[in-house]
C-alpha cells in the first residue's frame, strides 16, 4: 500500500515548480497577470461557458509554453554555461514557441470578445460583391501582412536577425507601405512627394548605418509598395 506522502509528493514537486517559475521569471508573472485581466474581461462581456472554456484552454497553453521555455533555458545554461550558437538557437526556439502561443491566445481572445454577431456581420460584408473596407482597417491589415512578409524574408536570408539586418529591410518595407497608402489617400502632389521622400530617407538611414545593403533596402521597398498597392488598389473600395 502506497503511503500518503508518495501520493502527495508529485503534486508538491509540481507546485514548487509553478511557484519557482512565478518567483524567478518576470514573463511568467506578466502572463498570469494577463490571464487574470482576460478572465475578468470575459466575465464583463458575458462570454458563454463554452467560450470561457476555450479562452482558458488557450491561455493555459501560453502559461505552459512559458514554463517549458524557462525549463529549457535552465537546462541549456547548465549544459552550456559559456556562449554557444547552438545554445542560443535552443533558447530562441523556446522563446518562439511562447510567442506563437501568445499570438494565438490574443487572436482567440479578440475573436471571442469581438462577438459572434459582429463576426457574422463581417463575414456577410466580406462575402458581398463589393465589400467596403475602411482605410484604417486596410492600413492595420496591411501592417500585419508587411510584418509577416518581412519576417519570412529575413528567415530566407543567411545573415541578420529578425529585428536588425536580414534579407528584407523592415524599415524600408513599412516606410514605402505607408507612403503608398498616403498616395492613395491624398490628391495633393506635394504630400505625395513628401511621403515618398520620407520613406526614401528612412531607407537611406539604414544604408548609412550599414545595417542593410542596397538590394536589401530595394527588396524591402518593393515589399511595402506591393502590399500597399494590393490593399488600396486591388481590394474593393
Q: What is the CATH number of the domain that holds 12?
A: 1.10.287.3610
What pLDDT does residue 146 have?
Answer: 92
| Co-location of 117 and 158 in the same domain | no
| Co-location of 9 and 119 in the same domain | yes
What pLDDT does residue 227 have?
Answer: 93
Can you give the pLDDT of all 237 residues of the chain as single tens digits? Answer: 556 566 677 777 777 887 887 788 777 777 777 777 777 777 777 777 887 888 888 888 888 888 888 888 888 888 888 888 888 888 888 888 887 887 787 777 777 766 666 566 655 555 555 556 788 888 888 999 999 888 888 777 666 555 566 778 888 999 999 999 999 888 888 888 888 898 988 888 888 778 888 888 999 999 999 999 998 887 765
Scanning the structure block, which residue is given the C-alpha cell 523556446? 94
Domain encompassing residue 71:
4-126
| Co-location of 206 and 101 in the same domain | no
Nearest residue to 215 via CA among 169, 178, 154: 169
| Co-location of 90 and 155 in the same domain | no
Helix residue ranges, H only, the chain: 4-24, 26-44, 49-79, 85-114, 116-127, 135-156, 170-185, 189-208, 214-229
Distance CA 69, CA 211 (A): 30
What pLDDT does residue 121 have?
Answer: 60
| Co-location of 152 and 56 in the same domain | no
What pLDDT does residue 60 have?
Answer: 84
The tally of domains found in the chain comes to 2
| Co-location of 220 and 121 in the same domain | no
**Whether 73 is catalytic:** no
Q: Of the candidates 78, 110, 126, which is a domain's last residue?
A: 126
| Co-location of 112 and 142 in the same domain | no
pLDDT tens-digit map of 146-179: 998 888 887 776 665 555 667 788 889 999 999 9
- Rg (the chain; Cα; Å): 23
| Co-location of 114 and 149 in the same domain | no
Q: Of the candidates 126, 158, 183, which is a domain's last residue?
A: 126
Which entry of 66, 73, 208, 216 is annotated as an active-site residue?
66
| Co-location of 52 and 107 in the same domain | yes
Q: pTM, whole model, 2 decimals?
A: 0.56
Amino acid at each position: 500500500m502506497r503511503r500518503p506522502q508518495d501520493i502527495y509528493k508529485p503534486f508538491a514537486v509540481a507546485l514548487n515548480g509553478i511557484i519557482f517559475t512565478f518567483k524567478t521569471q518576470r514573463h511568467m508573472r506578466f502572463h498570469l497577470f494577463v490571464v487574470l485581466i482576460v478572465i475578468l474581461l470575459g466575465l464583463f462581456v458575458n462570454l458563454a461557458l463554452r467560450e470561457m472554456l476555450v479562452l482558458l484552454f488557450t491561455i493555459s497553453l501560453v502559461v505552459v509554453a512559458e514554463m517549458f521555455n524557462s525549463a529549457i533555458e535552465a537546462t541549456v545554461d547548465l549544459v552550456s554555461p559559456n556562449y554557444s550558437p547552438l545554445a542560443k538557437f535552443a533558447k530562441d526556439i523556446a522563446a518562439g514557441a511562447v510567442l506563437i502561443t501568445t499570438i494565438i491566445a490574443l487572436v482567440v481572445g479578440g475573436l471571442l470578445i469581438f462577438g459572434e454577431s459582429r463576426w457574422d456581420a463581417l463575414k456577410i460584408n466580406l462575402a458581398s460583391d463589393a465589400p467596403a473596407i475602411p482605410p484604417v482597417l486596410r492600413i492595420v491589415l496591411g501592417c500585419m501582412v508587411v510584418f509577416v512578409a518581412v519576417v519570412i524574408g529575413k528567415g530566407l536570408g543567411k545573415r541578420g536577425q529578425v529585428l536588425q539586418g536580414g534579407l528584407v529591410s523592415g524599415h524600408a518595407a513599412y516606410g514605402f507601405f505607408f507612403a503608398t497608402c498616403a498616395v492613395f489617400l491624398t490628391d495633393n502632389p506635394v504630400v505625395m512627394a513628401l511621403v515618398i521622400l520620407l520613406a526614401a530617407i528612412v531607407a537611406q538611414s539604414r544604408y548609412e548605418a550599414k545595417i542593410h545593403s542596397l538590394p536589401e533596402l530595394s527588396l524591402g521597398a518593393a515589399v511595402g509598395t506591393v502590399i500597399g498597392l494590393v490593399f488600396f488598389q486591388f481590394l474593393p473600395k
